[in-house]
């Protein structure tokens, strides 16, 4: 190699092609290293994705199964319906405290019947095997079916305590129970015996998806019902507002706008709005919709409006791309047979661009569905147990949203809520997956190559 | 009459107008629609629009203006001892609305008659119990002044509703009266309706501008308000962030800005090499099969909501970093830290860097690669010495966009970075960012008009200006770069 | 045809530099080049002519394995350079391309300075040990490419700032800076105006003294002006190969004659 550079005039002394010289070997090693960096980078990204999904799914899957205690319950009429009218309005006077007593008796009887000893445990500890939500469960059931009072329910399912549930999911151990003021190892032993005796067991928990949120002490009762409904309402608002406005704006900018200062301003605006941090839209919503326009806090209408403003640029941009992809010859053809500009756009260009626009719309909606930060600022983080009413009035009722529910659960003290939050994320990801799958199918099926 | 009913009536009138307009055009043409300038449909459409649009505009305007007037009238009736400050005033007003809604319900359910209501006072009747029977639960007994205000509110509201009905219907009829007589065979109905459509489209496109204006106005207005309560210089140059509930807070932005930049820096440290090298590998080396599998997988990272990353930081990354790095190295024992948030945010930003870089690298003309390969350069030499330098401006733009994204990110830092405002170099310590403090100041219980709450708007404005600046710069660079190869 | 300078040319040497035997190229399932046998002589300008899509550029790109960069391309047969099969598994295309340089249809200077454009090849191939040596190579290459006098005062300005003809000569200078033995040119003048074309053609004629030059051209006049030997490709076949004068004045194959006289192509 070296003698060649000394005599640069003719290259023909250079070595044989079949033998790699020193420098080429070095260069090829560098080449291999460089390729390796790329592979390492991709592996890191893939690993991160895998770690993310595995961590969420392993933490969240247990949320869909819940430990229940199934025991026969006597419903004594003298305690639950003194009037004897079986009128649920009158029976509502009996509070959950009254039902708690009924349940405790039933539990003690069931334990005795199966020969499970509870020696050395206080009554409170025995009752502590059940969720604090259990009396409310029974009360709601009785008020909905007043006729059952005075009879006996052969098998009634009650929520087990969150710690007991955690024991069967591996979150709580005998060791951790010793340090825990909410549960004792003795309780866990009884719980284990109850499971062996068939009084306790895990099953799929629909209530996680349908029930409303629950207070700090009862993660086992917390569900996503209000959050899913709130998210659904917001998505309806976003869809109803941003589809027409977004498509109209895209059509105007792509088909009608003459190049001038104002159009430039709009275009620059849309490009930059798409990159404005989402939390700024939350501030906008707080200042304009709540403080200025006086709309109620925590309402899906406000969340929907905020998300609409945030989503609009993200819809307009793909919609314009879809319109742009329709070849000019189509417009020329329509104009050529005497259609007006408006007719050529609405009869020909828009239908051809519709699949692309729709795909962008769905992806925009999916982004809006997962958005959290702006909703925190407009009060969607509030604790809401009541389902919002029907449409359209329900838009103004307090509600929460799926991602916000996740956040508020992570701020709670009980470790059971971590499982709930991860489970809620699985629900959220399933929704997103469905939306994106629809978008992909739409694109595959209707995409046209010009 | 309710808003929904009025809307239906207006739509009904407009529909009638459509049919009448259409028929008039056909009649004027003597049944031969070929002599019409426009199709009968457009004649109908013109009448429809002339009937419906002004009426709905009046309706919307009325719906915005009426509550303002009513509220200002009614709030005058609430004495100062009931509502000493703005917050109490708002509460009292919402009580007024609830009571008046309850009274409406009571009349609807025949619990009381309107005349009885006129004579009713809080001394004589237990209003709370009465409202309870119609399902409106009140927290306390009703203050007489508030009750009178509620009665007045009801009346004003009722008057307003009547006025609204009349005004809207008048507008609809007026529009019809103007449009209908003009329908004849030579009327350019298509042009008129198309002009209307174009204007509507234009109006839709201005929503984006209005949003920006709204953002700027609300931020600037409240920030200005904040600076009247707290000196701007202390805000921008203060090194201590220590809000107090009772005033005397120190609200310096520097610790927050430091936290924001530190987290973003670590995020870019993760995302730029990984994103850029992935993009290079995928566009220059990977086979088609690998590309079709890996590219969508990386894009999945972009589609995952930030709350998921936040939870990932909270339950997985934070504890791992604490147990395996921070504690053994004696660097701290907090699971939320700059490192936690930075790494997770870095993962989130990878797809932005990689997809932008991918576009940019692909924009480098193939002829340059051929030129280099033709000289005997290896592919990696071609990439490092020809493609990357050529793509550099675009890549820089992409990194700036990613930085702006990282700076504005909220959920990951809220759940991963911590809440302590600190100026520290240790990345395993919890620090906080601008976005975290916007959330905590605006979701706290402090009074809205206090500097502790208003500071969030100043923080928001700072954030907006910084990210906007980065975006504009990045978009400018990328555009210049693209022009170079077009 | 009378103005073509054919008669003045004689072939200087008969030493074969590159020999191709039974070369087949496939793009996916498309058989783009069929059974090509060619011997390219040293210190000679060889022209490949033929209608577009005839495979002449494809064959050219086989000679320094640029087709390797096209994923779907597959090459069969043997091509030897100085008796060594360039498609041998042991051959590193990088080393090959250092010996067989290439100039492309469109001038493609790197977005770097003129100096860096020329120095790129010598740097990556490690041809120099000092800055002054590199300076020497840059100067010689630019002089050989007849560009030195135009750019010697602005070696630091970007290569993309030159005119089209200058850019193409810069690319030629860049290619000769790596001291190749063969120089491949893929329609090097198709993007240039007539004056720049004349300059480049003059340059090619001078380069003949040091390199074996292979030029693909769509212009028969150009082939006649610059080359000593000409190969005519048609529909993926090498139809006729011989001395330029003979091909243009007395083609043996009727297809060649049709093309020369303008009936096909």
Q: Residues C225-256: pLDDT tens digits?
A: 999 999 999 988 999 999 999 999 989 999 99
Point out the residues of chain B with pLDDT beneath 50: none
Q: What's the rounded Cα separation, in Å, for the pair A298 and B352?
A: 32
Of B211, B274, B281, which has the smallest distance from its Cβ to A309's Cβ? B211
Distances (CA, A) of C64 to A56, B79, C18, C58, C181: 53, 94, 11, 11, 11
Q: Which chains touch C (3 or more CB pairs under 8 A)?
A: A, B
| Whether B385 and C124 lie within 8 Å, measured CB to CB | yes
Give A309's contacts in chain B (Cβ within 8 Å): 207, 211, 214
Digit-coded pLDDT (tens) for C165-195: 899 999 999 998 988 999 999 988 888 888 8
Co-location of A56 and A68 in the same domain? no
DSSP C87-155: TSTT--HHHHHHHEEEE-SS----SSBHHHHHHHHHHHTT--SSHHHHHHHHHHHHHHTT-HHHHTT-T
Q: Write down all domains in chain B, each with its CATH number in brackets.
A: 3-187 (no CATH), 241-484 (1.10.3720.10)
The reported pLDDT for the residue numbered A99 is: 87
Eight-state DSSP code of residue B304? S
The reported pLDDT for the residue numbered A6 is: 37
Give B287's contacts in chain C (Cβ within 8 Å): 71
Instruction: Reduce the DSSP state of residue A155 to 3 states and report it.
Output: strand
The reported pLDDT for the residue numbered B279 is: 93
- Show me where the domains of chain C are located: 16-109+181-260
Task: Write the CATH number of the domain with boundaries C16-109+181-260.
Answer: 3.40.50.300
What contacts A94, CB < 8 A, 6 or more positions away? A79, A80, A81, A139
Distances (CA, A) of A432 to A372, B172, B202, B233: 14, 44, 32, 45
The reported pLDDT for the residue numbered B75 is: 75
Co-location of A163 and A272 in the same domain? no
Of C136, C140, C181, which has the smallest distance from its Cβ to A12's Cβ? C181
β-sheet bridge partners, residue C36: C23
Give the distance from residue A202's alpha carbon to the nearest chain B alpha carbon, in angstroms. 24
The reported pLDDT for the residue numbered B62 is: 86
- Please answer whether residues A270 and A316 qualify as being in contact, where contact means their C-beta atoms are separated by less than 8 angstroms: yes
Q: Which chains touch B (3 or more CB pairs under 8 A)?
A: A, C
Give the distance from residue C80's alpha carbon to the nearest chain A alpha carbon, in angstroms. 10
Co-location of A316 and A375 in the same domain? yes
- Please answer whether residues C192 and C105 qualify as being in contact, where contact means their C-beta atoms are separated by less than 8 angstroms: no
Co-location of A441 and A293 in the same domain? yes
Dihedrals phi, psi of C35, to nearest 5 degrees: 50, 55
Name the token pair of B24: 């008039």
Co-location of A261 and A378 in the same domain? yes
The reported pLDDT for the residue numbered B330 is: 85
Name the token pair of C243: 């001395």
Eight-state DSSP code of residue A121? -
Digit-coded pLDDT (tens) for C14-56: 678 899 999 999 988 889 899 999 999 988 999 999 888 888 8
DSSP B15-64: HHHHHHHHHHHHHHTTT-GGGSSS-HHHHHHHHHHHHHHHHHHHHHHHHH
Q: Does A52 touch chain B (CB under 8 A)?
A: yes
The reported pLDDT for the residue numbered A450 is: 61
Co-location of A99 and A173 in the same domain? yes
Top residue of C81, C85, C125 to mutate, by most chain A CBs within 10 Å, is C125
Interface of B with A in 77-136 (CB under 8 A): none
Domain that holds residue A121: 64-221
Co-location of A103 and A242 in the same domain? no
Count of CB atoms within 10 A of residue A352's CB? 17
| Whether B288 and C121 lie within 8 Å, measured CB to CB | no
The reported pLDDT for the residue numbered C264 is: 64
Say what angle helices C164-177 and C194-207 make with each other, to 10 degrees: 20
Q: Using CB atoms within 10 A of its CB, is residue A313 exposed (0-12), middle (13-18) or buried (19+)?
A: buried
| Whether B373 and C66 lie within 8 Å, measured CB to CB | yes
The reported pLDDT for the residue numbered C11 is: 46
Of B367, B374, B484, which has the smallest distance from its Cβ to C97's Cβ? B374
Per the structure, the count of domains in chain A is 3
pLDDT in tens, chain A (450 residues): 333 333 343 344 467 888 888 888 889 999 999 999 999 999 999 999 999 999 999 999 999 999 999 888 888 888 887 777 777 777 777 888 888 888 888 888 888 888 888 777 888 888 888 888 888 888 888 888 888 888 888 888 889 988 888 888 888 888 888 888 888 888 888 888 888 888 888 889 888 998 888 888 888 888 899 999 999 999 999 999 999 999 999 999 998 888 888 888 888 888 888 889 999 999 999 988 888 877 788 889 999 999 999 999 999 999 999 999 888 888 888 888 888 888 889 888 998 898 889 989 999 999 999 999 999 998 888 888 888 877 777 788 888 999 999 999 998 888 889 999 999 999 999 999 999 999 888 888 877 666
The reported pLDDT for the residue numbered B106 is: 79
- Please answer whether residues B51 and B179 qualify as being in contact, where contact means their C-beta atoms are separated by less than 8 angstroms: yes
Last residue of a domain, one of A204, A221, A238: A221
ipTM of predicted complex: 0.89
Last residue of a domain, one of A14, A44, A60: A60
Digit-coded pLDDT (tens) for C129-165: 889 999 999 999 999 888 999 998 999 998 888 988 8
Residue C3 has pLDDT above 70, yes or no: no
Report the candidate in B106, B109, B9 with the shortest Cα–Cα distance to residue B56.
Answer: B9
Tokens 């091909």 belong to C247
Co-location of A256 and A209 in the same domain? no
Q: What's the rounded Cα separation, in Å, for the pair A282 and A373?
A: 7
| pTM greater than 0.95 | no
Digit-coded pLDDT (tens) for C49-85: 988 888 888 999 999 888 887 778 889 999 999 888 9
Instruction: Reduce the DSSP state of residue A395 to 3 states and report it.
Output: helix
Give C92's contacts in chain A (Cβ within 8 Å): 17, 20, 24, 28
- Please answer whether residues B282 and B295 qualify as being in contact, where contact means their C-beta atoms are separated by less than 8 angstroms: yes
Size of interface A-C (CB pairs under 8 A): 54
The reported pLDDT for the residue numbered A224 is: 92
């Amino acid at each position: 190699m070296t003698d060649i550079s000394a005599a640069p005039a003719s290259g023909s002394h250079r070595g044989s092609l079949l033998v790699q010289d020193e420098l080429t070997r070095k260069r090829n090693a560098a080449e291999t290293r460089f390729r390796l960096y790329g592979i390492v980078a991709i592996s890191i990204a893939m690993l991160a994705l895998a770690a993310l999904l595995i961590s969420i799914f392993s933490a969240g899957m247990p949320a869909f199964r819940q430990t229940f205690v199934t025991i026969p319950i006597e419903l004594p009429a003298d305690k639950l319906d003194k009037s004897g009218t079986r009128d649920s309005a009158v029976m509502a006077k009996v509070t959950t405290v009254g039902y708690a007593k009924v349940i405790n008796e039933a539990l003690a009887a069931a334990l005795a019947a199966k020969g499970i000893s509870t020696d050395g445990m206080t009554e409170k500890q025995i009752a502590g095997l059940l969720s604090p939500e259990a009396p409310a469960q029974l009360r709601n059931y009785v008020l909905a079916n007043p006729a059952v009072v005075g009879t006996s329910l052969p098998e009634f399912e009650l929520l087990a305590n969150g710690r007991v549930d955690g024991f069967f999911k591996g979150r709580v151990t005998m060791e951790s129970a010793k340090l825990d003021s909410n549960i004792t190892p003795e309780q866990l032993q009884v719980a284990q015996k109850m499971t062996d005796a068939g009084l306790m067991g895990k099953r799929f928990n629909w209530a996680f998806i349908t029930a409303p949120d629950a207070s700090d002490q009862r993660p086992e009762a917390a569900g996503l019902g209000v959050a899913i409904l709130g998210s659904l309402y917001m998505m309806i608002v976003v869809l109803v507002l941003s589809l027409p406005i977004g498509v109209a704006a895209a059509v105007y900018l792509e088909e009608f706008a003459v190049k001038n200062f104002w159009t430039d301003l709009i275009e620059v605006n849309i490009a930059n709005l798409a990159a404005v941090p989402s939390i700024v839209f939350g501030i906008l919503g707080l200042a304009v919709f709540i403080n200025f326009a006086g709309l109620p806090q925590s309402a899906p209408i406000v969340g929907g409006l905020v998300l609409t403003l945030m989503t609009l640029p993200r819809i307009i941009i793909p919609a314009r791309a879809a319109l742009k992809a329709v070849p000019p010859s189509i417009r020329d053809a329509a104009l050529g047979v005497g259609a007006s500009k408006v007719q050529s756009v609405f009869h020909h260009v828009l239908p051809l661009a519709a699949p692309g626009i729709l795909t962008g719309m769905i992806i925009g909606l999916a982004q809006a569905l997962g958005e959290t930060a702006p909703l925190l600022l407009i009060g969607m983080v509030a604790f809401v147990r009541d389902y919002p009413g029907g449409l359209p009035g329900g838009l103004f009722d307090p509600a929460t949203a799926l991602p916000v529910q996740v956040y508020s659960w992570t701020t709670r003290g009980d470790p059971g809520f971590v499982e709930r939050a991860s489970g809620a994320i699985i629900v959220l990801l399933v929704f997103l997956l469905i939306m994106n799958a629809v978008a992909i199918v739409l694109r595959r099926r209707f995409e046209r190559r010009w | 009459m309710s808003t929904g009913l009025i809307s239906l009536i207006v739509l009904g009138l407009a529909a009638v107008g459509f049919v009448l307009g259409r028929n008039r055009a056909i009649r004027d043409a003597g049944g031969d629609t070929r002599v019409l300038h426009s199709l009968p449909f457009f004649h109908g459409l013109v009448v429809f629009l002339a009937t419906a649009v002004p009426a709905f505009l009046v309706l919307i305007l009325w719906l915005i203006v009426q509550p303002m007037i009513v509220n200002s009238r009614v709030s005058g009736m609430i004495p100062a001892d009931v509502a000493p400050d703005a917050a109490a005033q708002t509460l009292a007003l919402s009580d007024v609305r609830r009571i008046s809604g309850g009274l409406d319900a009571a009349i609807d359910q025949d619990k009381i008659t309107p005349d009885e209501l006129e004579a009713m006072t809080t001394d004589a009747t237990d209003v709370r119990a009465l409202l309870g029977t119609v399902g409106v639960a009140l927290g306390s007994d009703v203050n007489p002044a508030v009750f009178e205000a509620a009665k007045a509110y009801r009346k004003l509201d009722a008057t307003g509703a009547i006025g609204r009905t009349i005004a809207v219907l008048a507008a609809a009829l007026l529009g019809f009266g103007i449009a209908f007589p003009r329908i004849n065979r030579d009327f350019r109905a298509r042009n008129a309706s198309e002009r209307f459509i174009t204007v509507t489209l234009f109006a839709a496109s201005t929503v984006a501008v209005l949003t920006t204006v709204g953002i700027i106005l609300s931020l600037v207005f409240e920030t200005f308000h904040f600076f009247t309560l707290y000196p701007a210089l202390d805000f921008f140059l203060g090194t201590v962030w220590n809000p107090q509930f009772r005033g005397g807070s120190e609200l310096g932005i520097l610790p927050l800005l430091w936290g924001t930049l530190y987290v973003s820096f670590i995020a870019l440290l993760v995302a730029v090499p990984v994103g850029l090298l992935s993009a290079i590998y995928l566009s220059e080396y990977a086979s088609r099969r690998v590309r079709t599998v890996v590219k969508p997988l990386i894009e999945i990272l972009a589609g995952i909501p930030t709350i998921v990353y936040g939870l990932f930081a909270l339950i997985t990354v934070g504890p791992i970093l604490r147990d395996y790095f921070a504690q053994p190295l004696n660097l701290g024992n907090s699971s939320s830290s700059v490192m936690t948030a930075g790494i997770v945010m870095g993962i989130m930003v990878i797809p932005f860097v990689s997809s932008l870089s991918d576009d940019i690298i692909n924009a480098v003309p193939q002829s340059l690669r051929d030129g280099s390969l033709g000289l005997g350069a290896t592919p990696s030499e071609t990439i490092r010495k020809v493609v990357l330098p050529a793509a550099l401006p675009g890549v820089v733009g992409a990194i700036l966009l990613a930085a702006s994204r990282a700076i504005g990110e909220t959920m990951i830092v809220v759940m991963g970075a911590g809440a302590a405002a600190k100026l520290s170099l240790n990345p395993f310590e919890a620090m906080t960012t601008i976005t975290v403090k916007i959330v905590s100041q605006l979701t706290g219980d402090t009074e809205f008009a206090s500097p502790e709450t208003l500071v969030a708007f100043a923080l928001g404005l700072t954030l907006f200006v910084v990210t906007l600046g980065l975006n504009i710069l990045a978009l400018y660079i990328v555009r210049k770069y693209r022009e170079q190869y077009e | 045809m009378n103005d073509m300078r054919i008669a003045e040319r004689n072939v200087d040497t008969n030493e074969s530099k590159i020999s191709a035997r039974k070369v087949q190229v496939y793009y996916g399932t498309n058989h783009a080049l069929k059974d090509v046998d060619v011997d390219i002589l040293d210190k000679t300008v060889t022209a490949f002519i033929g209608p577009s899509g005839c495979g002449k550029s494809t064959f050219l790109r086989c000679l320094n394995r640029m087709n390797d960069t096209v994923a779907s391309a597959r090459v069969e047969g043997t091509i030897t350079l100085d008796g060594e099969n360039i498609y041998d598994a042991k051959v590193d295309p990088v080393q090959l391309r250092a010996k067989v340089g290439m100039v492309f249809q469109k001038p493609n200077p790197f977005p770097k300075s003129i100096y860096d454009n020329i120095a790129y090849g010598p740097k990556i191939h490690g041809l120099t040990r000092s800055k002054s040596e590199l300076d020497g190579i840059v100067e010689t290459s630019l002089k050989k490419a007849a560009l030195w006098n135009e750019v010697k005062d602005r070696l630091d300005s970007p290569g993309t700032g030159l005119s089209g003809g200058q850019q193409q000569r810069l690319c030629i200078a860049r290619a000769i800076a790596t001291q190749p033995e063969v120089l491949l040119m893929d329609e090097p003048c198709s993007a240039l105006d007539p004056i720049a074309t004349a300059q480049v053609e003059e340059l090619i004629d001078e380069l003949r003294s040091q390199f074996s030059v292979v030029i693909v051209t769509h212009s028969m006049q150009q082939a006649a002006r610059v080359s000593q030997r000409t190969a005519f490709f048609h529909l993926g076949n090498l139809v006729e190969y011989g001395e330029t004068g003979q091909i243009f004045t007395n083609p043996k194959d009727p297809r060649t004659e049709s093309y020369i006289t303008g009936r096909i192509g």
